[in-house]
Structure 1
Amino acid sequence: MQKKLKILLIEDDMIEKMKLNRTTSALQLDHEIIEANNGEEALQLLENKDNLPDIILLDLNMPKINGIEFLGILKKDDVLKYIPTIILTTSNNQKDLLECYKIGVAGYVIKPLKYEDYVSKIEKLLAYWSVNELIVV
């Protein structure tokens, strides 16, 4: 049985936020999506350790704190480091991919250009994490 996920989406592009919300709605997925515009905003949300997300979807290219910097901060925290963080980006740069896995990312998904392909990837990604056993901190 799939469980309802609390998802923290860290994304500065409004169109990308709308696309994820539209996709989960079209797939009739009842996950809770919390949005942060950048890494700083996300860190503020994560200060409340009583209300942490199940997974984090993280864009790499953001102002203030980019995705790789955010991931490094997250993985140094004794509580937050256990939240599965999946990169959701347009970057197919091999250097970014290697750096993210080195820091400890749970997955790296490249956003496809075609909406149908995007829907398919998001459906699989969320199905996978909604059947996984997640650490409750």
Structure 2
Amino acid sequence: MASTGPILLAEDDDNDVFLLRRAFDKAGLADRLIVVRDGQEAIWYLNGQGAYADRNAHPWPEVLLLDLKMPRMDGFDVLKWLQRRRRSLQPLLVVVHTSSKLDTDLQRAFELGADAYWLKPLHFADLVRSVRALGERLREPPKRPAYTSARWVEERL
């Protein structure tokens, strides 16, 4: 049975938000996408604070799609926040979506608990394929694989 929880996107770049919205639309997941503009707002949403206090209107997300380089609070800070609270939080699949090809960023993201590391694709069709794969993954039982030492990891779902 397919899951129906929201997918929280933490992304500050308007162009990336536009492309992701289109990709989610093509993958049939547009109605599940919720956008916040930086790491601080992502934490407010996850914590149910302020404008996000009503969990009926702002339910716990099933997936966090997280950019690393954002103003105010970056993706690494969000990963650290989640890591400190992982045991007390509901399940959450964390997918880093970034343009950073640095091995250190990839390794650090996984060490801080990311489940997947997607490089922002150069082609829209690649993004749609990744989003469709995420949709398929959400239809399967949850799993947390061991860290892989592959140089470039599109996803570790």
| TM-score range relative to shorter protein | 0.7 to 0.9
Percentage of identical aligned residues: 28
Equivalent residue number for residue 79 of structure 2: 71
Matched, 1:115 2:156: no
Number of residue pairs the alignment of both structures matches: 134
Tell me the CA shift for residue 47 of structure 1.
1.9
Query: TM-score of the superposition, structure 1-length normalised?
Result: 0.87
Give the aligned residue type for 2:94.
T
Write the letter of the residue equivalent to 1:35: V
CA distance in 2, matches of 1:4, 1:30: 12
* d(CA) in 2 for partners of 1:13, 1:7: 17
Instruction: Please list every run of 5 or more consecutive structure 2 residues that lacks an aligned counterpart in the other structure.
Output: 144-157
Q: Deviations over 1:102-125 (max 9, x none)?
A: 111111111110111111112112
Deviation at 1:74, TM superposition (A): 1.4
Residues 7 and 33 in structure 2, CA contact (< 8 A), matched pair in contact too: yes
User: Superposition pairs for residues 1-137 of structure 1, below 5 Å?
Assistant: 1-29=1-29, 31-48=31-48, 50=55, 51-77=59-85, 78-80=87-89, 82-133=91-142
What CA deviation, in whole Å up to 9, does each residue of 1:36-73 have, x standing for no partner?
A: 10011111111228421011000001111111111001
Instruction: Give the counterpart letter for 2:45 in structure 1.
Output: L
Of 40-49 and 87-96, more deviation after overlay is shown by 40-49
**CA displacement at 1:133 relative to structure 2:** 3.8
Tell me if structure 1 keeps the 8 A contact 2:67–2:75: yes
CA distance, structure 2, for counterparts of residue 30 and residue 63 of structure 1: 25
SS in 2 for 1:92: coil
1:4 shift after superposition: 2.4
Unaligned runs of 5+ in 1: none
Deviation at 1:31, TM superposition (A): 4.5
- Quote the offset at 1:30 in angstroms: 5.3
Query: Taking structure 2 as the reference length, what is the TM-score of the superposition?
Result: 0.77
- More displaced 10-residue stretch of structure 1: 116-125 or 42-51: 42-51
